[in-house]
């Protein structure tokens, strides 16, 4: 029987390997860690989340929630494992990153036709899904660039710090989710006007890490994941409309929304660690500790992880990719994850899912599926396959990608609800949810 190779045991690769194996194919999942570490991963587990522990909103009517609903319909192993590893996070789906990684690994290990190989792949040979992520090893990146004849693009992405719960001053924090949606899950650090002004000034003046990269003078960030100090430098109030937004967070001690608020989200099932939501940063570590300790409740905070910034590689996929995730003219090669210009854990896994289904179908002699662009995944796949390659930028799931509702409808939440229903009904019409066969 043909052996299919999957390169990269991250979000996309784990999902792709699962989808291939459950179609009965022999699969080898290649993961280079721990032999070859990356600058961002900490361990050797599959599907390691390198920064935030959130897989995004799971509230009906939101774009990320629709993507998840479609993935569940298609039998996502990543979301199945996420359900097991879930931690309280209000309207979002957040997980304990270690429990999550173990849950993914256990599921993959349960398939007798799937084998994990700890090695670095440097060239493509045989049927393959390439899902080597934003930190693809340099040799493989160079090989892909040469083989595909496309540019290697990049942007910079930063991770947020994590603190221990026992080091927090709970008298200064209150527990709530924004607008009281879902369970009261976040620790909230409220600031008054003076505290905010002092914090903002310190953040603006703090020192950046010096990137030892030639692109240092021309650092391009992903707009959706800007370092907190970059946002602060855009204007004194920018943070109050971003990660320090106070709306919908009533402080029980005052009965009012604070002037600004930092949210901390549970990072582990045990609740012993919390991450600073939206506080991805590239500040020097000493300055991170000094400035973030000014946040109410964090004066004595123990930082178990500090923010770091990394260069993310991606390919100009519209130049070579079909919306099936297969390479144009090559039914034996598929690509998925951040490498093809989708941004976010869930988006990476979703494209891995489609790549796995479709490479499997192609190898079994079936036509690959082109998902309807009324679906979030179909629309995302269309984007990475048909955007302008010259100005190609990574993309999250969002409603702007999806076919609009055919009639004018003023009530946005009703429109989103109907678009969501249409997406799942269109998906069901072409895909059997159990076998993912059309
Ligand atoms: C610093 C940083 C912070 C980020 N923060 C967030 C965040 O908060 N939220 C979010 O949604 N996304 C974040 N991202 C983006 C995040 O990386 C992706 O959302 C997600 O991990 C991408 O999944 P993936 O499967 O494409 O890549 P990964 O999950 O990185 O998986 C790729 C795997 O391939 C392996 N690999 C690489 N090269 C080879 C090779 N040659 N041979 C074999 N194996 C190889 C790697 O070791 C890795 O395990 C961040 C990225 C970085 C770098």
Q: What number does the ligand 1 atom closest to the CA of 30 have?
A: 43
Tell me, using a 6 A CB cutoff, whether residue 281 lines ligand 1. Answer: no
415: its two tokens: 């429109």
Q: Domain map of the chain by residue range?
A: 3-157+312-430, 162-307
Ligand 1: distance of its center to the CA of 49 in Å? 8
Tens digit of pLDDT for each residue in 133-152?
999 999 999 999 889 988 77
pLDDT value of residue 367 = 94
Q: In CATH terms, is domain 162-307 a member of 2.40.30.260?
A: yes
Q: What number does the ligand 1 atom closest to the CA of 119 have?
A: 43
User: In CATH, which of 3.40.50.300, 3.50.50.60, 3.55.50.30, 3.40.50.150 is domain 3-157+312-430?
Assistant: 3.50.50.60
- Helices first, then strands: H and E counts in the chain: 11, 17
Q: What number does the ligand 1 atom closest to the CA of 37 have?
A: 47
pLDDT in tens for each of the 438 residues of the chain?
Answer: 789 999 999 999 999 999 999 999 999 999 999 999 998 898 999 999 988 899 999 999 999 999 999 999 999 999 999 999 999 999 999 999 999 999 999 999 999 999 999 999 999 999 999 999 999 999 999 999 889 988 777 777 777 898 988 899 999 999 999 998 888 889 999 999 999 999 999 999 998 765 544 444 445 666 777 899 999 999 999 999 999 999 999 999 999 999 999 999 998 777 888 999 999 998 988 999 999 999 999 999 988 888 877 778 889 899 999 999 999 999 999 999 999 999 899 999 999 999 999 999 999 999 999 999 999 999 999 999 998 877 787 888 988 889 989 998 889 899 999 999 999 999 999 876 545 554
Q: What number does the ligand 1 atom closest to the CA of 36 have?
A: 47
Tell me, using a 6 A CB cutoff, whether residue 135 lines ligand 1. Answer: yes
Tell me, using a 6 A CB cutoff, whether residue 362 lines ligand 1. Answer: no
Q: How far apart are CA 172 and CA 434, in angstroms?
A: 49
| Its pTM surpasses 0.75 | yes
Ligand 1: distance of its center to the CA of 250 in Å? 36
Tell me, using a 6 A CB cutoff, whether residue 4 lines ligand 1. Answer: no
Mind spelling out the 3-state secondary structure of 94-143?
EECHHHHHHHHHHHHHCCCCEEEECCCCCCCCCCEEECCCCCCCHHHHHH
CB 71 within 8 A of CB 41: no
Q: How far apart are CA 64 and CA 93, in angstroms?
A: 10
Among candidate residues 40, 123, 53, 49, the one with its CA nearest the CA of residue 86: 53
- Pairing verdict, β 273-276 and 162-164: antiparallel
Ligand 1: distance of its center to the CA of 314 in Å? 11
Tens digit of pLDDT for each residue in 205-254?
998 765 544 444 445 666 777 899 999 999 999 999 999 999 999 999 99
Tell me, using a 6 A CB cutoff, whether residue 8 lines ligand 1. Answer: yes
């Amino acid at each position: 029987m043909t052996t299919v190779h999957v390169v990269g045991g991250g979000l996309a690769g784990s999902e792709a390997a699962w989808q291939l194996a459950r179609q009965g194919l022999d699969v080898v999942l290649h993961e280079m860690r721990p032999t070859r570490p990356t600058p961002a991963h900490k361990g050797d587990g599959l599907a390691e989340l390198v920064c935030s522990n959130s897989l995004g909103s799971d509230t009906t009517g939101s774009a990320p929630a629709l993507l998840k609903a479609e993935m569940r319909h298609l039998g996502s192993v990543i979301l199945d494992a996420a359900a097991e590893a879930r931690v309280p996070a209000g309207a979002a789906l957040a997980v304990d990153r270690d429990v999550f990684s173990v849950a993914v690994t256990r599921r993959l290990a349960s398939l007798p036709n799937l084998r994990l190989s700890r090695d670095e792949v440097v060239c493509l040979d045989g049927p393959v899904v390439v899902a080597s992520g934003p930190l693809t090893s340099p040799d493989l990146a160079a090989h892909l660039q040469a083989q595909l004849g496309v540019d290697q693009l990049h942007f910079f992405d930063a991770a947020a710090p994590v603190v221990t719960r026992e080091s927090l001053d709970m008298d200064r924090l209150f527990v709530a989710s924004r607008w009281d949606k879902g369970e009261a899950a976040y620790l909230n650090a409220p600031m008054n006007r003076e505290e905010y002004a002092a914090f903002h000034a310190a953040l603006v003046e703090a020192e950046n890490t010096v990137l030892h990269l030639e692109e240092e003078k021309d650092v391009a960030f992903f707009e959706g994941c800007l370092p907190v100090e970059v946002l602060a430098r855009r204007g004194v109030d920018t943070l109050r409309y971003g990660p320090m937004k106070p709306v919908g967070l009533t402080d029980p001690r005052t009965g009012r929304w604070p002037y600004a608020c930092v949210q901390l989200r549970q990072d582990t099932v045990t609740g012993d660690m919390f991450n600073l939501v939206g506080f991805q940063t590239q500040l020097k570590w000493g300055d991170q500790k000094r400035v973030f300790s000014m946040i109410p409740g964090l004066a004595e905070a123990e930082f178990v992880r500090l923010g770091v910034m990394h260069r993310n590689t991606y390919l100009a996929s519209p130049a070579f990719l079909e919306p099936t995730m297969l390479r144009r003219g090559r039914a034996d090669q598929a690509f998925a994850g951040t490498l093809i210009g989708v941004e976010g854990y869930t988006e990476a896994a979703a494209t891995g899912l489609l790549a796995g289904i479709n490479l499997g179908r192609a190898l079994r002699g079936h036509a690959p599926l082109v998902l309807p662009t009324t679906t979030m995944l179909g629309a995302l796949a269309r984007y990475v396959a048909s955007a302008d390659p010259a100005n190609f930028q990574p993309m999250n799931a969002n409603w702007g990608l999806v076919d609009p509702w055919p009639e004018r409808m003023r009530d946005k939440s009703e429109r989103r609800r109907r678009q969501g229903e249409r997406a799942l009904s269109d998906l069901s019409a072409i895909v059997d949810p159990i076998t993912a066969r059309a």
